[in-house]
Structure 1
Amino acid sequence: MSSFGDLNRVNTNIQSLDSQLSLNRINRDLADNQLKLSTGLRINRAEDDAAGYAIATKLNSRVAGLEQALQNVGDAKSVLDIAESSFDTVMDSLIEMKALATQAANDTLGENERGYIGAQIEKLAEDINDVANQTVFQDSELLNGAVDASSGAATNTGDFSLTFQVGERSSDTLTTDLSAVNIGELFAAGGDTEIGAASGAISATAAGTGGQGGLSFDAATADDFRSFIDAVDTAIEGMNERVNEIGMTQSSLSIREVTLSQSISANSSASSRIMDADFAKEQSESVRLQILQQTSTSALAQANMGPQSVLGFLG
């Protein structure tokens, strides 16, 4: 800062240097202010607020993870929707099987008619196996059971396990098992099974790595079909359990979806309070700095003219 008598020296213009320093500070502050207005951020680099920058970075990282987790939940629900749709198709086939078996159990039908019904049921069984083969998501066979570790092929038995990443932490997972759905698992899970009063009249082949199992009808009587009705009821109950498992998992995913959405909103809000600029405040600051810039420029011009007054001493 210039002091008394400084204006009488021309070699070093102290007043001009003070004005330049003031103008440089104002220009720097104005540049920072314009950067905040152009980016919308209060913190544009670590030096603006090191602690705030570190906290906001962590929050933004968490928000990115939560947003991807929310997408994962949507994908998981899509997978389960595909499986559920196939379950509905299988259930329709089982219901039709029961209707046909009930028809064949009536003594008003003859042997030939029961033979036709048996063939229809065998075809429905093949359709159920086909549904399992066609239920695929990203090359994964959802309804063909566990995967053999050595060959990578579906075993047609057991459960196909899916683990969904439903959070931004490594421990935020949800696992569900999709039980194999085929004729062997529905009618002969304990091994090849004979159904009916007459030995071998109706038989169910167990599923395994080599196949999905099937149903066979050979001169089945009304009593045989009555026994088959019970077998179909058991298969329907098994499908109900599978549908129930999917329903519970879908419910958990829906709850997780709401929780993730709320977490994204809360963390984004916290990051915004730290990082985002207050436009009303920054605009007011911009006006103040522009006025100071103009006055500092004027003061600098006057300071640069100050040494001219010394010429008066030279008369």
Structure 2
Amino acid sequence: MPSFGDLNRVNTNIQSLDSQFSLNRINSDIAENQLKMSTGKRINRAEDDSAGYSIATKLRSRVGGLNQAMQNVGDAKSVLDIAEASYSTVMDSLVEMKSLATQAANDSLGDTERDFIGDQIEALGKDINEVSNQTVYQDYELLNGSQNSNGTGTNSGSLSLEFQVGERKSDTISTDVNAVNVGELFASGGDQDLGATTTNGGAQAGGTAIQASQATAGSQGALTFDDGASSSDYREFISAVDSAINTMSENVNSIGITQSSLSVREETLSQSISANESAKSRIMDTDFAKAQSESVRLQILQQTATSALAQANNGPQSVLGFIG
């Protein structure tokens, strides 16, 4: 602001310099306000609000992790949906096995008819193994248990999966997808005799009528029905099928529990994403109503500052009156 008597000096126009400074500051504010409106962000550089910029960056990082975690949950549900669908197919095969075994357990059938039924049940066992082979997601054979270190063959047991369902290290959900091949369903403890020994003409013959072999590396086990298996052999086999059906029911229940947990986590993630996005928006985003009001105010100040500068530049003309 010029001091008393400055207007009488021509060489340095203090009033003009002050007006230029004011106009430049207003023009800078206008440019800043236009940047906020064009980008939609209140903070475009760290110098705009260093603390707010740091907080918003952390929130943005968290939102990115939460969004990916949401995608991970969707992928995890897809994996379990595939396993569940195959479990359902295996269960259908077991139910059909029980129906056939119940039919063969009736003494109204002869040995030839029972042999036909045994062939059908063996085929159903092969179908179960084939379902296990074909249930694949990415590089995982979901229903064949844990794989060897080289990725080939199968071991008994289950496939352990751990899903990253959050943006923190500890945000995981683990589940085991149990193997459901013939070896696991009918002979998890080793080769198992599922029927009494056969007899031929009243004399005991060697071997067992019905046998299930254990799944080992590179194999999945198999059901074997000898010719001449009796109705009592099939009655024993009914119990084995019932046990396999119970095992499948437990497997489905386990997957259902994990699917429910994933659904809850999906809802929680959705709420967390919304809350964090809202917090980031309050810090980073432009309030357009406020920015527009500020734009009008600055435009008026720009016009008045321009007018003041013009008057200041004409001020030295009054000095001519002293020398005229």
- Name the SS of the counterpart of 2:16 in structure 1: helix
Contact 2:152 / 2:218 at 8 angstroms: preserved in 1? no
The superposition leaves residues 75-116 of structure 1 with CA deviations (integer Å, 9 ceiling, x where unpaired) of 000000000000000000000000000111111111111111
Counterpart CA distance in 2 for 1:26 and 1:155 is: 75
Superposed, 1:30-45 pairs within 5 Å as 30-45=30-45
Superposed, 1:1-16 pairs within 5 Å as 1-16=1-16
Superposed, 1:217-296 pairs within 5 Å as 217-218=225-226, 219-296=228-305
1:204 and 2:212 correspond: yes
Counterpart CA distance in 2 for 1:178 and 1:128 is: 16
The superposition leaves residues 187-222 of structure 1 with CA deviations (integer Å, 9 ceiling, x where unpaired) of 011111111122511111110003100001112111
The superposition leaves residues 224-255 of structure 1 with CA deviations (integer Å, 9 ceiling, x where unpaired) of 11111100000000111111110110011001
Counterpart CA distance in 1 for 2:62 and 2:273 is: 8
- Name the SS of the counterpart of 1:147 in structure 2: coil
1:302 matched residue in structure 2: 311
Contact 1:184 / 1:206 at 8 angstroms: preserved in 2? yes
Give 1:76's aligned amino acid.
A
Contact 2:98 / 2:241 at 8 angstroms: preserved in 1? yes
Percent identity for Structure 1 against Structure 2: 73
1:195 matched residue in structure 2: 194
TM-score under structure 2 length normalisation: 0.95
Q: 1:215 aligns with which of 187, 209, 223?
A: 223
- Name the SS of the counterpart of 2:208 in structure 1: coil
How far is 1:41 from its partner? 1.2
Give 1:244's aligned amino acid.
N
How far is 1:48 from its partner? 1.1
How far is 1:11 from its partner? 0.5
Counterpart CA distance in 1 for 2:314 and 2:138 is: 79
Superposed, 1:1-315 pairs within 5 Å as 1-149=1-149, 151-198=150-197, 199-218=207-226, 219-315=228-324
Q: Which runs of 5 or more structure 1 residues have no equivalent in the other structure?
A: none
How far is 1:39 from its partner? 1.1
Runs of 4+ in 1 over 4 A off after TM superposition: none
Q: Count residues in correspondence.
A: 314
How far is 1:305 from its partner? 1.4
Counterpart CA distance in 2 for 1:154 and 1:180 is: 13
Please say which of residues 95-104 and 298-307 is displaced more in the overlay: 298-307
Counterpart CA distance in 2 for 1:147 and 1:176 is: 16
Contact 1:156 / 1:180 at 8 angstroms: preserved in 2? no
TM-score under structure 1 length normalisation: 0.98
